[in-house]
Structure 1
Amino acid sequence: MKNQLKTEELREFLDEKVEKFNRPGFIDQDPIQIPHQFERKEDIEIAGFLTATIAWGRRDMIIKNASTMMQLMDDSPHDFVVNHTPADLKVFDAFVHRTFQSQDLKFFLKQLRRLYSSGGLEQHFIPKESETNLRNAFSRFHVLFFENEGSNFRTRKHVANPEKGSSAKRLCMYLRWMARPADAGVDFGLWKQIPLSKLSCPLDVHTGNVARTLGMITRKANDWKSVEELDQYLRLLDPVDPVKYDFALFGLGVDEGWK
């Protein structure tokens, strides 16, 4: 039975699935294809951040709407972010991805300009040495992103805060993209100051269901406590690069139909 695999058997099984799915072919149907359109570090970071922000719902719609965002920025996201004027933002008036709408995107672009004026994104996700994961880094980023914008409650929900119990699935995915090595041709390996051992697996309905089937987590909710429960198990399998198993869990759930 799937949920009766012992730890060593499970490691071998999941390593095989990582090898199967952590390949360039994975990109073809995944939102990570959007930042792969760029070569410059800052373009990849911004394209990745905005794409990850809208990464819920059907993957084809995520890719379509993320492509639209890039096109509206003349396929030069960093240049647009740092140099746009208020008038330039009017091109986004009709943009919508589910509950992420034009006013949210405009706010994001203004905040990104503020962050890039003081060094960019990576520095704001670096965990403290005493921290075992990115929980507190995500919460600090949430505070920073909405600094002096306390009334903007509708947009706050689009940046996860684990202190509120969120699994921070999209931020976890974004950090995987930025920090994991580029050796396999999928992730980018751009951010060197974030230890792979402190990354967490993006927990969604697919990875959560597969992890429960395999006995890796017991909680029913896909919340931050479940993320940390899954962290503990995956770090037993690989303490150096535990989040590589995102490819296995997601692939089993989406491509192989595990429930």
Structure 2
Amino acid sequence: MKKRRVAHTGLSTQAADLLRPRLDAFLASTDPKARIGFDPVEFPHRYTDPRDVEVSGLLAAALAYGRADLFRPKVDALLKQMGPSPAAFVRALDVKGAKALLTGFVYRFNVGTDLAVLLLGMGRALREHGSLEALFVRGFKASGTLHGAIAAFTAALRDVPMEALRKAMGPERGLHHLLPSPLGPGAAKRLNLYLRWMVRGPDAVDFGIWKQVPASALLVPLDTHIGRMALHLGLTQRTDLTWRTAEEVTASLRALDPVDPVRYDFALCHYGMSGACPAKTLPQHCKGCLLLPSCKVGPRVIARGSLQF
């Protein structure tokens, strides 16, 4: 008989009380400014105007998949061509301008037509709503859920003249990967990452420029690094990178900080990205880790010599 999975409902009060001071000490020991250059959040940090921050941030987050050394030059080149104000650029953009900017653009799953949809959609949102925040908040209020709000946001961004675009630039190829609609069961990591940038803070990493969405409503941007760290710390028992797993991890983080549950995300993610807590864990990785007393894996690594995740 197949063993039935017991749902993980978040950390107990006792577990949260033990983990919280360790995670706070870990967070205090990190230098987020030193890691910004390794993160797509570096791009919106070039700007000060909130509209430029939200436009450049969504472009950067949308393309932040695969190897950083491959997507960063693509984002950098596009922003340079868009001039000093990305918001002003997309607000004035039309199909002809999109073709001039994006003909020949290819990055893994995406071609120029895919990016044109994103940029034209942002321009339309700015013209009709004044900001990307206003467009997102409309869906957030209508649906009452973060999943529903993101789904409405991506659907609205994709509401652009597709036939004219296809005629000018050719068919789209990876549009659903860039702007998933319908949203589906995936973790929507890049969109949740974008929301973290816009909503929480301001601090050294996140901007806090969207004031109408509470940080308590955010979902952790779940990727392989956060998934591995979450398993190590007992934040979830799930191993898939789905929306449901992101909800479980966030429920555990909410037990630590109900007001700002994703505040640990940047530090934990970069702890994995930097190689300090890699997929193949060795004793030297674990012995000096501040989180070792709460880790489900570290003691076994030290005892056995290594462990592969």
State if a TM-score over 0.5 links the two structures.
Answer: yes
Q: How does 1:75-94 map to 2 (within 5 A)?
A: 75-89=84-98, 90-94=100-104
Q: CA deviation at 1:17?
A: 2.7
Deviates further, 151-160 or 194-203: 151-160
Q: How does 1:130-209 map to 2 (within 5 A)?
A: 131=144, 134-147=146-159, 154-160=174-180, 163-182=183-202, 184-209=203-228
Q: For structure 1, list consecutive stretches of 5 or more residues without a partner in the other structure.
A: none
SS in 1 for 2:35: helix
Q: CA deviation at 1:249?
A: 2.2
**Distance in 2 between the 1:12 and 1:64 partners?**
39
1:24 correspondence with 2:33 = yes
**Distance in 1 between the 2:217 and 2:162 partners?**
30
1:115 correspondence with 2:125 = yes
Partner deviation per Cα, 1:37-65 (whole Å, 9 max, x = no partner): 11111111100000000111112222221
Deviates further, 11-20 or 226-235: 11-20
Q: 1:230 to 1:110 in 2, by over 3 A?
A: same
**Distance in 2 between the 1:123 and 1:85 partners?**
22
Deviates further, 192-201 or 12-21: 12-21
Which amino acid in 2 is paired with 1:207? I
Kept in 2, the 8 Å contact 1:203–1:222? The answer is: yes
Identity of aligned residues (%): 34
Tell me what 1:42 maps to. Answer: 51
Q: TM-score, normalised by structure 1?
A: 0.89
Q: 1:83 to 1:149 in 2, by over 3 A?
A: closer
Which amino acid in 2 is paired with 1:191? W
Kept in 1, the 8 Å contact 2:121–2:156? The answer is: no
Which amino acid in 1 is paired with 2:188? A
Deviates further, 18-27 or 134-143: 18-27
Q: TM-score, normalised by structure 2?
A: 0.75
**Distance in 1 between the 2:182 and 2:96 partners?**
35
**Distance in 1 between the 2:95 and 2:270 partners?**
42
Kept in 1, the 8 Å contact 2:117–2:157? The answer is: no
**Distance in 2 between the 1:117 and 1:104 partners?**
20
Kept in 2, the 8 Å contact 1:17–1:247? The answer is: no
SS in 2 for 1:118: helix
Tell me what 2:303 maps to. Answer: none
1:210 correspondence with 2:229 = yes
Kept in 1, the 8 Å contact 2:117–2:160? The answer is: no
